[in-house]
């Protein structure tokens, strides 16, 4: 007898959480990290999906009709192009805005916080974000740079805030924000609706909130890659102060939304801590302690941190294994999986490691072999979730299907 | 003095290195010699990267210090420095991909190791690669890509080079985030390199062979 969507939902949720918490699941869960694939699969362009989220949702319907992830995220990665366009977002190019209609959106390097702005950023991050970062990164909000020091509003200090609204550029910025908010509401509503829809179809949602390593919060969209790398040499103390300031911010970014959504997972996307991008000493000094604080903050908030380790994390294993047992998931893009299991077995759940190039260019036999190897290596006694190394855009559908089907079948064999 | 500059730069003592450059200029040292010493420091830094002692931040930082040194020296030169070049490389990130952190480091290391590098930038159409190869006649072509969308762009670029009758005249290497040997085979490149020093090694090997 076929299972009901409700039964499938509970089964998949339990399977996923069991693996994450190092309990033995009924089979190896598949939690793919899917980006543009449903659009290619449904035959629409990425541009279309970003300009009209209902098209993205339809593409996801087709995807979920043929594939059976144990958790997945729905169309939220079809970012709202009209909102980004309206606000003139500077650090992104996307299809229809600097890129062809079916090429994935990409980050544009820039320095949105200058080297000499550390002190003011740390002293009052809100003022910096409001009057410098927002105007610099969202061109249409240039007027916000005219806002006064809101922290000085006590007594009649608020006169200056009111006064600012007499400036045409400030008014314009707020009108633009109102327009953008209306457009964004459609995207937010569609994403929330899809979480509910997926539940009715039997699929748990794989995100409750997102966050980033405190180092990356300073490095990604504030200082930029060149900036953050040279800051480690030129102004290490200021950098460390800024990183420390980011710790509670990184926790609240992820945990609040996760609790509110009822989905106890925070996805933490790491960027600069991988092999090659810093030395072991730099990792220990600048990257890990604050990241660990974020991980602990999630755990203390009752949330499971799913830490996506972009790049190769093999040299970092000896540090990242220092976390409470059964509370953390590490998703690896590239890793020596044997060493990973040695370091993390019985401590944290391992996810990923399947090369995207295999999904794009390999044969179904090769995919099967690799999945088998991953499960044999990392999945003994549980604690492993199948996923590709990086977000899936291009992939041969039969390869992706093999990843799902073989993993579920073989995992069931191994765990019975 | 020469050793002082080399040591300061290799140790990434920015202030010290710039101070020595100025002192040497004031003392009447040949600007070209100072630049040369700085470049040999960069070679040592590249070696330390190969050996796993230095990483990308050291390359980026030393690259910046090197640029600062060049900015002090260049106005003092009677003519543009004419370093003996061991070969020419045309490099760029392929169509549809705008990532360049890795590529820029490759360019820095190739330049430091004596190659004449023509860096086309990012999101480069196959035709642009072909045009530049025709013009520059490099021994080596580097294709950079970060995402899986780069696979077909690289394949098309190499096909365009072949169609232009230029494939036999160049060796092609690929690198970047989602690239690997499987991709190398798919796109028809000669080699895949995991980092900047691998690129230098490959380029040297090919040029040396001529």
- The 10s digit of each residue's pLDDT in B142-162 is 999 999 999 999 999 999 999
Tens digit of pLDDT for each residue in A261-311?
999 999 999 999 999 999 999 999 999 999 999 999 999 999 999 999 999
Domain boundary among B76, B107, B141: B76
Name the residue among B57, B98, B195 with its Cβ closest to that of A232.
B57
Say what the pLDDT of residue B76 is. Answer: 87
CATH number of residue B158's parent domain? 3.40.50.280
Q: Would you state the pLDDT for residue B97?
A: 93
Interface check for A91 against chain B (CB to CB < 8 A): the answer is no
**In Å, how far is A208's CA from the nearest CA of chain B?**
26
**Does the pLDDT of residue A67 top 60, yes or no?**
yes
Together in a domain, B146 and B114: yes
DSSP string, A62-109: HHHHH---SSB-GGGGS--HHHHHHHTBSSEEEETBEE-TTS--EE--
Instruction: Reply yes or no on whether the pLDDT at A88 is more than 90.
Output: yes
Determine which of B15, B147, B175, B192 to mutate to test the interface with A (most A C-beta atoms within 10 Å). Answer: B147
Question: Which of A16-20, A114-118, A137-141, B27-31 has the weakest average pLDDT?
Answer: B27-31
Q: Which of B48, B76, B104 is the last residue of a domain?
A: B76
Percentage of chain A exceeding pLDDT 90: 98
Average pLDDT over residues A217-221: 97
Average pLDDT over residues A343-362: 97
Computed over every residue of chain A, the mean pLDDT equals: 96
Reported CATH class of domain A5-78+189-415: alpha beta
Residue B74 sits at the vertex; the CA angle it makes with B72 and B76, to the nearest 5 degrees, is 85
Q: Inform me whether the pLDDT recorded for B1 exceeds 70.
A: no
* Each residue's pLDDT tens digit, B103-142: 999 999 999 888 999 999 999 999 999 999 999 999 999 9
User: Domain span at residue B155?
Assistant: 87-208
Average pLDDT, integer, range A16-41:
97
**pLDDT tens, residue by residue, B48-90:** 998 999 999 999 999 999 999 999 998 888 777 777 788 999 9
B188 and B146: one domain?
A: yes
In which order are the strands placed within the sheet that holds A384-385? A209-211, A265-270, A304-312, A329-334, A349-352, A384-385
Q: Are residues B41 and B129 in the same domain?
A: no
**Structural domain count of chain B:** 2
Instruction: Give the nearest partner residue to B183 out of A230, A276, A357, using CB atoms.
Output: A357
The answer to whether the Cβ–Cβ distance between A229 and B14 falls below 8 Å is: no
Which residues, numbered 60 to 99 in chain B, qualify as contacts with chain A under a Cβ-Cβ cut-off of 8 Å? 60-61, 64, 96-99
Q: Given pLDDT bands bounded at 50, 70 and 90, which one contains residue B209? A: low
Q: What is the model's pLDDT at position B83?
A: 72
pLDDT tens digits, one per residue of B162-179: 999 999 999 999 999 899
Average pLDDT over residues A50-74: 96
Q: Does some domain include residue B174?
A: yes
The per-residue pLDDT for A158 is 96
Q: How many CB pairs under 8 A join A and B?
A: 82
Residue B113 resides in a domain: yes
CA distance B42 to B62: 7
Name the minimum distance, in Å, from the CA of B121 to any CA of chain A: 13
Mean pLDDT of A29-38: 96
Share above pLDDT 70 across residues of chain A, in percent, rounded to a whole number: 100
Does A110 contact B at CB distance below 8 Å? no
Asked, for residue B162, whether it belongs to a domain, the answer is: yes
The answer to whether the CB of A27 falls within 8 A of the CB of A16 is no
Asked if residue A307 lies in contact with residue A329, where contact means CB atoms within 8 angstroms, the answer is: yes
pLDDT at B210 over 50: no
Residues B102 and B172 in one domain: yes
DSSP state of A7: H
pLDDT in tens, A150-176: 999 999 999 999 999 999 999 999 999
What residue spans define the domains of chain A?
5-78+189-415
- Domain C-terminal end among B34, B50, B76: B76
Q: Does residue A121 have a pLDDT over 80?
A: yes
Indicate which CATH number applies to the domain containing B31.
1.10.1240.10
- Say if residue B117 is in the same domain as residue B22: no
Residue A366 near chain B (CB below 8 Å): no
Residue B29 has pLDDT above 70, yes or no: yes
In this prediction, residue A131 carries a pLDDT of 98
Contact list, B121 vs chain A (CB under 8 Å):
none
pTM of this structure: 0.94
Cβ of B121 under 8 Å from any chain A Cβ?
no
Q: Do B192 and B121 share a domain, yes or no? A: yes
* Closest-CA residue of chain B to A110: B101
Residue B11 shares a structural domain with residue B91 = no
Does residue B9 register a pLDDT over 70? yes
Q: Verify that B135 and B183 share a domain, yes or no.
A: yes
Give a three-class secondary structure readout of chain B: CHHHHHHHHHCCCHHHHHHHHHHHHHCCCCHHHHHHHHHHHHHHHHHHHHCCCCCHHHHHHHHHHHHHHHHHHHHHCCCCCCCCCCEEEEEEEECCCCCCHHHHHHHHHHHHCCEEEEECCCCECHHHHHHHHHHHCCCEEEEECCCCCHHHHHHHHHHHHHHCCCHHHCEEEEECCCCCHHHHHHHCCCEECCCHHHHHHHHHHHHHCC
Supply the mean pLDDT for chain B: 93
| Same domain flag for B98 and B47 | no
Residues B53 and B153 in one domain: no
């Amino acid at each position: 007898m076929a299972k009901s969507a409700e039964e499938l939902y509970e089964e998949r949720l339990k399977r996923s959480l069991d693996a994450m918490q190092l309990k033995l699941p009924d089979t190896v869960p598949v939690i793919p990290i899917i980006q543009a694939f449903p659009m290619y699969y449904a035959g629409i362009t990425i541009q279309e999906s970003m300009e009209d989220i209902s098209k993205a949702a339809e593409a996801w319907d087709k995807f979920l009709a043929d594939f059976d992830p144990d958790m997945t995220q729905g169309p939220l990665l079809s970012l709202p192009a009209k909102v980004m366009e309206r606000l003139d977002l500077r650090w992104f190019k996307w299809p229809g805005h600097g890129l062809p209609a079916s090429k994935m959106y990409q980050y544009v390097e820039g320095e949105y916080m200058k080297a000499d702005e550390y002190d003011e950023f740390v002293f009052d991050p809100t003022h910096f974000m409001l009057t410098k970062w927002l105007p610099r990164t969202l061109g249409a909000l240039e007027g916000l740079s005219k806002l006064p020091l809101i922290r000085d509003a006590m007594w009649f200090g608020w006169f200056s805030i009111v006064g600012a609204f007499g400036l045409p550029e400030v008014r314009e910025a707020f009108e633009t924000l109102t327009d953008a908010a209306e457009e964004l509401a459609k995207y937010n509503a569609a994403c929330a609706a899809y979480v509910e829809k997926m539940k009715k179809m039997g699929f748990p949602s794989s995100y409750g909130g997102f966050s980033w390593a405190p180092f990356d919060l300073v490095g990604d969209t504030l200082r930029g890659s060149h900036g953050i790398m040279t800051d480690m040499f030129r102004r290490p103390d200021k950098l460390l102060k800024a990183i420390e300031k980011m710790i509670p911010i990184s926790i609240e970014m992820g945990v609040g939304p996760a609790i509110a959504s009822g989905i106890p997972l925070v996805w933490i996307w790491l960027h600069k801590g991988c092999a090659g991008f810093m030395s072991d000493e730099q990792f220990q000094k600048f990257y890990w302690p604050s990241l660990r604080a974020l991980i602990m903050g999630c755990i203390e908030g009752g949330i499971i941190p799913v830490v996506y380790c972009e790049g190769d994390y093999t040299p970092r294993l000896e540090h990242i294994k220092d976390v409470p047992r059964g509370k953390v998931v590490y998703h690896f893009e590239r890793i020596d999986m044997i060493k990973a299991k040695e370091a993390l077995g019985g401590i944290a759940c391992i996810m990923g490691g399947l090369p995207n190039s295999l999904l794009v260019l390999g044969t179904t036999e090769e995919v099967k072999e690799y999945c088998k190897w991953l499960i044999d290596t990392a999945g003994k006694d549980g604690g492993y979730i199948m996923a590709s190394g990086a977000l899936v855009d291009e992939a041969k559908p039969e390869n992706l299907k093999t990843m799902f089907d073989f993993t579920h079948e073989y995992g069931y064999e191994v765990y019975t | 003095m020469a050793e002082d500059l080399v040591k300061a730069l290799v140790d990434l003592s920015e202030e010290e290195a710039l101070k020595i450059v100025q002192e040497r200029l004031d003392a009447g040292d040949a600007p070209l010699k100072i630049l040369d010493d700085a470049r040999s420091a960069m070679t040592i830094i590249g070696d330390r990267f190969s050996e796993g002692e230095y990483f990308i931040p050291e390359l980026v930082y030393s690259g910046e210090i090197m640029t600062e040194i060049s900015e002090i020296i260049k106005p003092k030169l009677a003519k543009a420095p004419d370093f003996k070049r061991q070969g020419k490389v045309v490099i760029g990130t392929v169509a549809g991909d705008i990532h360049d952190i890795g590529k820029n480091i490759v360019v820095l290391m190739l330049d430091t190791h004596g190659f004449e590098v023509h860096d086309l930038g990012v999101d480069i159409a196959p035709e642009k690669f072909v045009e530049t190869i025709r013009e520059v006649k490099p021994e080596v072509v580097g294709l950079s890509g970060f995402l899986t969308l780069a696979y077909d762009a690289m394949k098309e670029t190499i096909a365009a080079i072949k169609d232009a009758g230029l494939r036999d005249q160049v060796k092609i290497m690929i690198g970047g985030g989602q690239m690997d040997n499987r991709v190398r085979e798919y796109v028809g490149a000669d080699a895949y390199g995991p980092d900047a020093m691998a690129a230098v090694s490959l380029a040297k090997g090919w040029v040396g062979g001529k």
